[in-house]
Structure 1
Amino acid sequence: MPHITLVRHGQANTEARDEESYDKLSELGHQQARWLGAHMQATGDRFQRVYSGTMVRHIETADGIGVDLEPLRDDRLNEIAYFDLSRLMEEQHGLLIPTEREGFVEHLPKVLGTWQEGRIEGAPESFEQFHSRVQDIMTEIAAGDGRALVVTSGGLIGMVLRQTLNLDVSGWAQMCLAIMNTSVHRWHMVLDRPLLTQFNGVPHLETPDRHYAQTHL
């Protein structure tokens, strides 16, 4: 039975306000990845295939986990250009970009909803293009043999959840906001359909001395 484990990258540059500056792990992000890799080794979590996006934070996270397989890097696993979409939303619709995490609770669904409606001019890609590329790469991974590890980003994991659970924009945004750095999400394919069996697991960060490392940005 095909088995897919999606992992969100480690904590990135939380001070960034553009795509390029955000795309690198913080010191804590590197540590989160190493802890996850050690946990997988200790629990016998083995994979026959490894994939990652082509972003720096994906590659650094996969390297930190340290699976003994060369990841297949595919840009279809890359994140939404959220900083770019947010900038365009501010310019075209007057929606200010939040400066604290709580502000994204209202900001994210507005951006995603406007994007889905096709009302953000000059977006790096359309909602339909994002939806299709995620569907395409996940279908290809699901068709392979053995257990697959996929290192990617929260927005993409959220889209896979949306496609699996038939979520609306509000539900998709809520899922994205909940997803923690280096969290683990698992699907089993049953009769060619994805069955979600784990969401947002961080067993490698659950001891009291690591609670501080349960981050979202």
Structure 2
Amino acid sequence: MPHITLVRHGQANTTARDEESYDRLSPLGHQQAAWLGGYMRDIGDRFQRVYTGTMRRHIETASAMGAEEHADIAHDARLNEFAYFTLSQLMQEQYGLEVPTEREGFVSHLPAVLGAWERGEIEGAPESHEHFANRIQDVMQEIAAGQGRALVITSGGLIGSVLRQTLSLDVGGWAQMCLAIMNTSVHRWQMVLGQPLLTQFNGIAHLETPDRHHAQTHL
């Protein structure tokens, strides 16, 4: 029975305000990924297939985890994140919606951006929401059809979208999921009669010891 494990990348460049600057792991992000890889080895968690997006933070996370020990890594651009920084900048220019400087501000900012994007109200968006949702559905269906356990290293927005498709969430629910997803968190699905069943959300067992609590990050 196919199993799919999705992992969010390690902490990226938290001071970034654009897509390119954000797309690299911080020193803590490398450490989070190394701890996750070590934890998976310790518990005997093995995978027959490994996938990442083509973003630098995905590839760096896979490398720090030692993911190549499981299988050859397939890089697929369909597993890339949507351009949140760009969408936020367009929302500010077109609607005056200020980009938050603290995490609490994203509680209202994220659903506003995602809702406008889904409704096609952001002029010049680099990708339509429909295209984003369709490419995720397509790649996840292909991965689910493969043989053996699959490890997928990607981004929080994409994982949140898979959760949305699995649980039939509205935009508000999707945004809440995205905000909750932690760096190097583990999310698992099991395919049952051709349908995805969520069996784990936001697992961070590799960061639960007291000396690693500081590494439980969202941004």
TM-score (norm 1): 1.00
2:186 corresponds to which of 184, 187, 193:
184
* Paired AA for residue 196 in structure 2: P
Matches within 5 A, 1:54-69: 54-67=54-67, 68=69, 69=71
Matches within 5 A, 1:56-205: 56-67=56-67, 68=69, 69-205=71-207
Quick one: distance in 1 between partners of 2:164 and 2:96?
27
Quick one: distance in 1 between partners of 2:117 and 2:133?
12
Quick one: distance in 1 between partners of 2:88 and 2:14?
16
Unaligned runs of 5+ in 1: none
Quick one: distance in 2 between partners of 1:62 and 1:123?
29
Quote the offset at 1:15 in angstroms: 0.3
Quote the offset at 1:70 in angstroms: 2.2
Residue 50 of structure 1 is matched in structure 2 by 50
Size of the aligned set, in residue pairs, is 217
Quick one: distance in 1 between partners of 2:192 and 2:65?
28
Quick one: distance in 2 between partners of 1:117 and 1:31?
39
* C-alpha distance after superposition, 1:153-192 (max 9, x if no partner): 0000000000000000000000000000000000000000
* Paired AA for residue 103 in structure 1: G
Residue 15 of structure 1 is matched in structure 2 by 15
Query: For 1:110, what is the secondary structure of its paired residue?
Result: helix
* C-alpha distance after superposition, 1:121-156 (max 9, x if no partner): 000100000000000000000000010000000000
Unaligned runs of 5+ in 2: none
Query: For 2:158, what is the secondary structure of its paired residue?
Result: helix
* Paired AA for residue 216 in structure 1: H
* C-alpha distance after superposition, 1:46-84 (max 9, x if no partner): 000000000000000000110212210000000010000
Quick one: distance in 1 between partners of 2:218 and 2:126?
24
Matches within 5 A, 1:28-47: 28-47=28-47
Could you say what the CA RMSD is over the residues aligned between the two structures, in angstroms?
0.4
Identity rate, percent:
76
User: Given the alignment of the two structures, is residue 4 of structure 1 paired with residue 39 of structure 2, yes or no?
Assistant: no
Misfit runs of 4+, over 4 Å? none
* Paired AA for residue 25 in structure 1: L
